[in-house]
Amino acid sequence: MASAVASSFVRLQSRPDEIHRLLTDVDRYNTQNAVLLEDYLARQCANPDPSNNHDLMANLALLKMYQFNPEMVDFDVIRRILAKALISPISSDFNLCLYLLSDEVCRDQSISKLLVLREYLERAQFGDFWKEMYGNIEEDEEEASVVDGIAGFDNGLRRLIVGEITGTYQTISATHVQDMVNLDEEAVLRLAKENGWTVNGNVISLPVKSDNEVKGSVISESIAFEQLTKILSAANDM
Amino acid sequence: MYQENYDDEEFVGNIDVVADSYANVDEIEDGAELDDDELLMQAQAGVQSIPEQIRNFLGHLHQNLKTAKVNDLSYNYENQFARLSDKYYAKSSWPEPQYVAALVGDDGLFLILYRELYYRHIYSRLHPSLETRFRSFENYCDLFNHILNSDGPTDLELPNQWLWDIVDEFIYQFQSFCTHRSRVNKRSADEISLLKENSQVWSTYSVLNVLYSLIQKSSICEQLRVAQQGGDVMEAAGEFGSRPLYKMLGYFSIVGLVRVHCMLGDYTLALQTLENIELGNSRALYTRVTACHVTVYYYVGFAYLMMGRYADATQTFVHILTFVSRTRQYQQRSHQFDSANKKAEQMYALLVIAVSLSPVRVDENIHTYLREKYADQQHKIQRGGEEAVNVISELYMFACPKFITPIAPNYDDVEATVVEPQAYQLRIFLREARLQLVVPTLRSFLKLYTTMDIERLSTFLEMDAAELRNQLMVYKQRCRQVKWVGGPDLLSGELVSTTDLEFALQEDMIFIAESRVGRRYADWFIRNANKVQDLVNSQENKQKSVIANTGKPQSEQAAVEA
């Protein structure tokens, strides 16, 4: 299975030494370092490459600094940290950020909107998600999007949704896919080609991998050596 | 104030500022101006009022401390102190430290340690006033100053249990203070002004400062790393770290730090802190003090649970609960039996949450216990809905650690609603738990079929077909968890499937297959062979004692058998 994305905690290759040292040291409490972490966040936001543009540990360290020093809180920074966590392939990233916030912070308008978006996403209600995300733009063009300044947000999100689809379905109707990824027929055909799906009329066939394979098995017990120590030592006494 | 330079000078500075700034408290104590004679008489009366047995005990304690007899101290501390507390001071405090001073020739270090016990007793049996809380903090500063800021290592030696209790109590009192100060509307005007003037006392930074300083002074991280990777441990330990007192205090401070990070909602940092401590190693240092052993696993398991790593949480809790139930008979004699038992009960509650949300087979004995005590709750969680959420909330509130806010509230705003970190953490946890509830509910239906139409299943579940499609995706998503695969880094792991039920959709048709567990013959034989062995052993022991007692006078023999 995809163990490459298994953890948000291994050191990212793109993480600079300076940041790494800070995260593994008491220096993480020094408020003068907030600006380093904020700059680092800005670089993560500008980078559209999903393989190395999210460093959860660094962002959590920044949230912790805000937790200890409420006068430093910058809502726009928190908004961007949460938006980054929203499109992280590891589903627990978002909650780990929330644990370091408070009711007061969650009442902020754009933060609470992100919470609503997250709810649709984690309930796999993708249609409602896109509606909430882009539905009101025309009436209210003044309002900045809550995911402003996050490079590659839509694509990162589609990668997530595509991952959910391929993990659950073997065949699926194209119209369903269109609704879920919020793309028209033509774009879905392009998406199918990119992912190596076979399109047959309105039905898309997805390659069968371990996630969407249906195969029962018998789990046999495995005995660890430690379980036998008592018996063996008793045998020795005789 | 929390800069990278952790040199001693700065540490002293911080503490001195704190200790000097209690102008208000000092006045309370001095009271009226008595002349020397009267003071002397009062002191004598105070000393006289100490029962003889207590005076003897304090004398022994003092002697054993001076001569560093750690084994005797262990007995004084773990057995006598608890027994005498019950006998003489069940509902009052131990004798005033100023009177005890006369008994021990004003030995400063002894008095610091005595005060630590004195305040700890007040915290556990009585209601500590704000002044007591301040005083106790001041005493901790004195103690840690002595340990951290002397020119060379101190000669003091204490039993491991005592050292653990010091670190543990220090954090407990910190947490208790944070809760105390957050109830602004219950504080009197005097208390508020005292709190405002002494914002340094029990501040989060000062507590972290102590823990990090103890860790640094003892070079414990380096020692553990060298022990793991090979090399000269003594060299890594250095002048201070090679002393048991420093080594153990440093080690316990790592565990204490894990606890503080969890109390602040920083679960990743909590697990990161343990990177040099190998879990599952039966000879690890944490096994030397049972309370520490249990604490490590409780907080690691809790952190995993909060991170949504239910499989890891289950494994952690099962490991320690198996240990606790196996060693119960030895623990009963310990004065910490009650608190270890309570922690175990809390962990069972957390385990119920973890195994209900992410069903998995657990150890037979643990499984039996859960079925006996928590069958009702498990059943309710499996049925899903609001009732399941309520059950989870109840279990959680019973079992979770006390959370704190790291900063002082606004003391001027009496009307403000009290910030309740407990409720906030629960709410965030429930966000995930609610989603996870899809798993047991859907699983119980899917298990019954090998193929199923979406439309039909949706009528069974009384749910919209489109919503059911979504829930099936949520199920898949929720059954993929990061799972620890060993090694010193508790955060790392692999993405694995945690379900024994596989399914996939072909448009509107669900295909289902279940993995079955084969019969566990070997496990059955091992358990029963062990049982027989225990039985044989106990019979043999009985026989031996009977043989040993033959020929002795009747009365004595009866006493032995009783």
The CATH code of the domain that includes A197 is 1.10.10.10
> What does the buried/exposed string (b/e) look like for B522-554 if buried means 16 or more CB atoms within 10 Å of the residue's CB?
eeeebeeeeeebeeeeeeeeeeeeeeeeeeeee
Q: What is the pLDDT of residues A157-209, one digit of tens each?
A: 999 999 999 989 999 999 999 999 999 989 999 999 988 899 988 899 998 88
> Which residue of chain A is at minimal alpha-carbon distance from B434?
A123
Same domain, A51 and A135: yes
Indicate whether A133 and A61 sit together in one domain.
yes
Beta strands in chain A (DSSP E): 169-173, 198-200, 203-205, 218-219
- Residues 122-151 in A contacting B (C-alpha not used; CB under 8 Å): 122-125
How far, CA to CA in Å, does B5 sit from each of A202, B209, B214, B251?
66, 11, 14, 21
Q: Taking CB atoms and an 8 Å cutoff, what residues of chain A touch B492? A: 6-7, 9-10
Q: Look up the domain containing A39 and give its range.
A: 3-150
Q: Are residues A203 and A125 in the same domain?
A: no
Q: What confidence score (pLDDT) does residue A2 get?
A: 35
Task: Judge: B504–A91 Cβ closer than 8 Å, yes or no.
Answer: no
CA distance B59 to B480: 61
**B194 pLDDT above the threshold of 70:** yes
Whole-number Å distance between alpha carbons of B222 and B233 = 8
Test A26 with B212 for CB contact under 8 angstroms: yes
Question: β-pairing, B451-453 with B509-514?
Answer: antiparallel
Are residues A100 and A10 part of one domain?
Answer: yes
Minimum distance, in Å, between the CA of residue A143 and any CA atom of chain B: 28
Asked if the structure places residue A122 within a domain, the reply is yes
Residue A26 included in any domain: yes
CB contact under 8 A, B502 and A213: yes
For residues B85 and B396, the model is more confident at B396
Residue A223 in any domain: the answer is no
Tens of pLDDT, residue by residue over A3-49, are: 334 456 778 888 889 999 988 888 899 999 999 999 999 999 998 88
User: A227 lies in a domain?
Assistant: no
Same domain, A120 and A180: no
Domain co-membership, A74 together with A8: yes
- CB atoms under 10 Å from CB of B161, counted, come to 20
Q: Looking at the partner chain, which of A9, A216, A230 has a beta carbon nearest the beta carbon of B514?
A: A216
The answer on A113 and A10 residing in a single domain is yes
Is there a single domain that holds both residue A139 and residue A122?
A: yes
- Whether residue A138 lies inside any domain: the answer is yes
Is A208 in a helix, a strand, or coil?
Answer: coil
Number of domains within chain A: 2
Same domain, A24 and A102: yes
Q: What is the DSSP string of B135-152?
A: HHHHHHHHHHHHHHSSSS
On whether both A23 and A125 belong to a single domain, the answer is: yes
Residue A127 and residue A42 share a domain: yes
Written in H, E and C, the secondary structure of B4-38 is CCCCHHHHHHHHHHHHHCCHHHHHHHHCCCCCHHH
Inside any domain, residue A59: yes
Query: Using CA atoms, how far apart are residues A90 and A4, in angstroms rounded to an integer?
Result: 11
Q: Is the pLDDT of residue B28 over 70?
A: no
Task: Flag the least confident range among A117-121, B14-18, B271-275, B355-359.
Answer: B14-18
Q: Are A7 and A87 in the same domain?
A: yes
Is B114 in contact with B86 (CB distance < 8 Å)?
no
Task: Name residue B203's beta-bridge partners.
Answer: none
In terms of Cα–Cα distance, which of B237, B181, B173 is closest to B206?
A: B173
The verdict on residue A196 lying in a domain is yes
Looking up residue A62, the CATH number of its domain turns out to be: 1.25.40.250
Per the listing, tokens 């995706």 go with B473
In this predicted structure, the answer to whether residue B8 has a pLDDT above a threshold of 50 is no
Query: Is residue A228 in some structural domain?
Result: no
Q: What integer pLDDT is reported at residue A3 of this predicted model?
A: 35
Looking at the complex, report in whole angstroms how far the Cα of residue A97 sits from the nearest Cα belonging to chain B. 9
